[in-house]
Amino acid sequence: MRDYLLRCRFFFVHAGILSFFINLFHLAIPLYWLQVFDRVMSSRSFATLAMLTVLVLWVLVFMHMLEIQRSNLLARAGVALDDFLAGPVLQRQLDTGMKPVGQHSEDSLADVARLRSFLSGSAVVAFFDLPWGIFFLALMFAFHPALGAVTLFGAALLGVLTIVEERATARPLAEAAATQLRATRFVQNATRNAEVAGAMGMAGALSRRWEIINGKVKSLQLQLGHTIGLISSIGRFTKNSLRIVALGVGVYLIINEQMTPGLLLAATMILNQALSPIDSIIRNWRNLSAARIAYGRLSRLLGENVVEAEKLVLPEPEGRLEVEKLYFRFGQAEPLLRNMSFSLEPGESLGIIGPSGAGKTTLVRLLNGLWVPSSGAVRLDGAEIHAWDKNHLGRYIGYLPQDVELFDGSVAENVCRLGEVEQWTDQIVAAAKLARAHELILRLPKGYDTPMGEGGVRLSGGQRQRIALARALFGTPKLIVLDEPNSNLDTEGEQALMEALRDIRKAGITTICITHKLNLLSTFDKTLLLKDDGSYQLGRTREVAPRLSAPPATPALQAPAENRSPAPPSAAPAARNVIKGMIGKVDDAGIRGWAYFPAQPETVPVLEIYMDEELLGTTEAKLFRGDLAQRDIGTGYHGFEFKFPPERDFDSNPGDRLKVFVLIPGGDKVVLPKA
C-alpha cells in the first residue's frame, strides 16, 4: 500500500511546498495588526495604512489562490490513488472471492473511495499545517516566554485529547464498521433471495433480523457520536479558554509595559494558527479513523507483494490436461480429494459423477485454475495452470458454473464476455449457434440486444443457462468446464445440450462436465466417479457406466407392497433386465414407447436411439404415474419419448431404420422391439 502512496508523491510534495507559502502568508494579518496598532495609530499616517491594507489584501488573494491550488492537488492525488488502486484491488478482491476458505474481502472498492474522499477533504490539510505549529510556537516564545508557555500548554492539552479520542473510539469504530458491513451484506443477501422470502412468508423474519443488526449499528454510532462530540466540545472549550488566558496574560504584560497592544493582537492570531491543525484533527476524527481503517484493510488485502510479476505469455494451448497427485482440503480438515491423477488429450471429454459433497464442484474449480490445490498439480499443455497469465488463458477456457450469474447488459455483451459487441458479432452468433441458443435468443424481445437486468433476472433459469453456455463457448476455447449444465433445462433444452456436446466433441475441444444424468454421461469418453471418502474410479464410460448403481432406496421411500411386483429370487443381472416393452408411435417428429422392469431400477433407466448405426441421442425412461400406477401391474412400467434433431430430413420411413437400446445399470443393453 505504501508503494501506491509513493506513486502520488508528486502531488504530496507540491502540496507541502504550497503549505510552506500558505502558512507564511498566514502571518500577514497578525503583522498587519501589529503595524496598524503600533505604528499607524501612533503616526496617524493614512498613506501607510492604505499601503499596508492593499499589500495585505494582495497577500490574502495569493494565499487563497494557493489554498485552492493545494486543495486541487490533494483532490488529484485522491483520483490518482484511485486510478492506481482500483485495478489491483478489484483483481485481488475477485481472487479473494474465489478462495475456498477464509473470510472474503470487504467491499474494498468502497475503501478506495473512502481514501479518495479523505484526500479531497479538509481533514488531510491539517496534517500539512501541523508541522508549522512548531514555527508558530517558536514565534509565541519570541513574543514573550509566558505566551509561549500558554501556547505549549494548550498544544499539549489538545494532543492529550487526541490520544484519548483515539483510544476511546478505536474499538467502537472498528466494531461499528464491521457491524455496518454485516448489515449491508444481510440486505444484499435478502434482496437476492427476495423471491424465496416472499413466497414462503419470510419477510417478517428477515425484518426482525435486520432490526436487530441495524439496532446494534445505531447503538454503536450513538455511542461514537457521544464520545466524539464530547471530546470535540472539550477541545473547543480548551481552545477558547486558551485565547482568554492568552489575552489575560497579554494585557498583564501590557500593563507592565512588557508588550504592546499590536503585539498582543498578533500573538492571539498566531496562537489560533498554532492550535488550529490539532483542533481540526479532533473535529475530523471520524473521517480520519474511517480512512485509517480503510487503509489497513487495503494493506491486508494487497499484502506485501503489491505488484505481481508479469507472467510469460505462453503459446495457444491445445487442450491437453494433466492432473498429478492432486490433494485438496479445506483448512485443517481431512482431504476432500486424495491422490488424484488422470489426463485428457485434446478433444477428449470427461463426465464427473458422484454423491453430493464428494467434491465435484471443488474439482472443476481446481481444474480451471480458480482454486489452488493443497498439493499436486493441474497442468494445461504441460504448464501448471497457475503459471499461465490469467487474461491470456481466459480466452481459451469456457466455464459454466453451477449457479449461473450473468452481468447487467445485453445478451450479446454477456456472450462476448463484456467485450466490444461490434468487434465480435460473428463470434457471438457462432457461439450461440454452437450452444443451440441462437433461436432462443432471436425469440427474445430485442434479440441479441435484449437487456438482461442484473444477474439476468429478466430471463428464466433455462434461458440463463443456455446463454451462459454460449458465453463459455465464445471465441476459441480449448477447455470447457461445465458444472451441471442441464440443472435448469427442460426436455427441449436437454436435447439442445446433447447436440451441442456432440458438436463440441467434433470441434476437438477438451470437455469436463459434472452431471447426475446417465443419458448425458453416455456422451463422454471417460467417466470419473467421486466417492465420499475422497477416493475415485476412472475409466472409459462404456466400462464404468454399468457399475454406476445407486444404493437401494430405504423402505420408507419404497412403494407399498401391494403396488410392487414380487421381488426376484436372486439379484442376478438378468432379474433387472427388461422383460417386455416396445417402440410405439414413430413419425418425423420423434418416437414414443415403454419398457417394463420386474424390479424397481436403482437408477433412472437410459435409452440410446440409433438410426442407421448412428447415435441420434439419449433419453430417460420415466416411471408411469397417475391412473396407470394405480392398476394392479406393479411400479415397473416406464415411458419414454425422444424428439428427432430438427435438422434431420427423413427421405423414408424412420421407423424402419431405428434401433432403441435400454441401458440397465448393472446389466447389459437390451433392444426394444417395434410395435
Give a yes or no: residue 58 inside a domain: yes
Cα distances (Å, whole numbers) of residue 666 to 181, 393, 547, 672:
53, 41, 5, 18
* pLDDT (0 to 100) of residue 564: 35
Q: Are residues 113 and 143 in the same domain?
A: no
Same domain as 332, residue 456:
yes
Cell, residue 562: 401391494
Residue 550, in any domain of the structure: no
pLDDT, residue 576, reads 44
Q: Quote the CA–CA distance of 349 and 645 in Å, as a whole number.
A: 22
Query: Which carries the bigger pLDDT value, residue 222 or residue 616?
Result: 222
Cβ atoms of residues 600 and 566 within 8 Å: no
Measure the N-to-C terminal CA separation of the chain; round to a whole number of Å: 76
Which phi and psi angles does 284 have, rounded to 5°?
-105, 25
Say yes or no: 54 and 169 in one domain: no
For residue 485, the domain's CATH number is 3.40.50.300
pLDDT beyond 70 at 528: yes
Closest CA to 513 of 412, 400, 422, 433: 400
Q: Indicate whether 336 belongs to any domain.
A: yes
Percent of the residues in the chain that have a pLDDT greater than 70, as a whole number: 83
- The answer to whether the Cα torsion of 403, 106, 75, 79 is positive or negative is negative
CATH (domain of 255): 1.20.1560.10
pLDDT exceeds cutoff 70 at 356: yes
- Positive or negative, the CA dihedral 67, 70, 74, 79 is positive
pLDDT tens digit sequence for 153-209: 988 888 888 888 888 887 888 888 788 888 888 887 787 777 677 777 777 888 888
Of the candidate ranges 213-227, 336-350, 566-580, the one whose mean pLDDT is the lowest: 566-580
Residues 92-138 pLDDT 10s: 777 665 555 444 445 678 888 888 888 887 788 888 988 888 899 89
**357, HSE (Cβ side, Cα atoms, 13 Å):** 2
Q: How confident is the model at residue 57 (pLDDT cuts 50, 70, 90)?
A: very high
Number of domains in the chain: 4
Confidence at residue 310, expressed as pLDDT on a 0 to 100 scale: 58
Q: What is the pLDDT of residues 461-489, one digit of tens each?
A: 888 889 999 999 998 889 999 988 888 88
How far, in Å, CA of 134 to CA of 567, rounded? 98
Cβ–Cβ under 8 Å, residues 249 and 146: yes
What the block records as the C-alpha cell of 149 is 508557555
Q: What CATH number did the domain enclosing 667 receive?
A: 2.60.40
**Cell numbers standing for residue 184:** 449491508
Cell representation of residue 221 = 454510532
479 and 516 inside one domain: yes
- Grouping H, G, I as helix, E, B as strand and the rest as coil, residue 322 is strand
Residue 4 domain flag: yes
Do 630 and 494 belong together in one domain?
Answer: no
Within a domain: 560: no
The three grid cell numbers given for residue 315, joined into one nine-digit string: 503459446
What is the enclosing helix (H) or strand (E) of 349? strand 349-353
Is residue 478 a contact partner of residue 320, using CB atoms and an 8 Å limit? Answer: no
Mode of pairing for the β-strands spanning 590-596 and 536-540: unpaired
> Which tops the pLDDT comparison, 518 or 80?
80
Residue 173: per-residue pLDDT: 80
SS3 sequence of 542-568: HHHHHHCCCCCCCHHHCCCHHHCCCCC
At 509, the amino acid letter reads I
Check whether residue 497 and residue 352 sit in a common domain: yes
> What was the pLDDT predicted at 661?
75
Please report the pLDDT score of residue 560 as a whole number: 35
Neighbours of 173 (CB within 10 A): 22
Whether residue 630 is predicted with pLDDT greater than 60 in this model: the reply is no
**Contact in structure between 228 and 165 (CB atoms under 8 Å):** yes
pLDDT in tens, 548-599: 644 333 333 333 333 333 333 333 333 345 556 777 777 767 787 777 766 5
Q: Computed from CA positions of residues 217, 220, 223, 226, in that sequence, does the dihedral angle turn out positive or negative?
A: negative
Q: Is 610 helix (H, G, I), strand (E, B) or coil?
A: strand
Same domain assignment for residues 533 and 581? no
pLDDT score recorded for residue 562: 36
- Residue pair 217/181 in contact by the 8 Å Cβ criterion: no
Q: What is the DSSP letter of 405?
A: -
Q: Are residues 339 and 384 in the same domain?
A: yes
In a domain, 561, yes or no: no
Instruction: Average the pLDDT over each of 8-17, 367-376, 504-513, 609-618 and give the range with the smallest value.
Output: 609-618
Q: Is residue 553 part of a domain?
A: no
- Per-residue confidence at 291, pLDDT binned at 50, 70, 90? confident
Q: Are strands 658-663 and 606-611 parallel, antiparallel or unpaired?
A: antiparallel
Domain match, 389 and 534 both? yes
- Output the pTM of the full model: 0.60
Q: 581 — phi, psi (to 5°)?
A: 155, 170
Q: Could you tell me if 668 and 577 are in contact, meaning their C-beta atoms sit under 8 angstroms apart?
A: yes
Listed residue (319, 266, 223) closest to 26, CA to CA: 266
For the chain, how many residues are written? Answer: 675
Distance CA 414, CA 536 (A): 36
Per-residue confidence (pLDDT) for residue 95, from 0 to 100: 67
Mean pLDDT, the chain, rounded, equals 79
Same domain, 467 and 328: yes
pLDDT of res. 387: 77
What is the residue range of 404's domain?
Answer: 321-545
- Cell 472498528, residue? 174
In a domain, 294, yes or no: no
Closest Cα to residue 350, out of 536, 489, 494? 536
Q: Extract the C-alpha cell encoding 342.
A: 488422470
pLDDT bin (cut points 50, 70, 90) of residue 62 is very high
Radius of gyration (C-alpha) of the chain in whole angstroms:
38
- 3-state SS, residue 56: helix
Considering the domain architecture, whether residues 573 and 487 belong to the same structural domain is answered as no
Positive or negative torsion for Cα 522, 525, 530, 535: positive
Q: Are residues 449 and 513 in the same domain?
A: yes
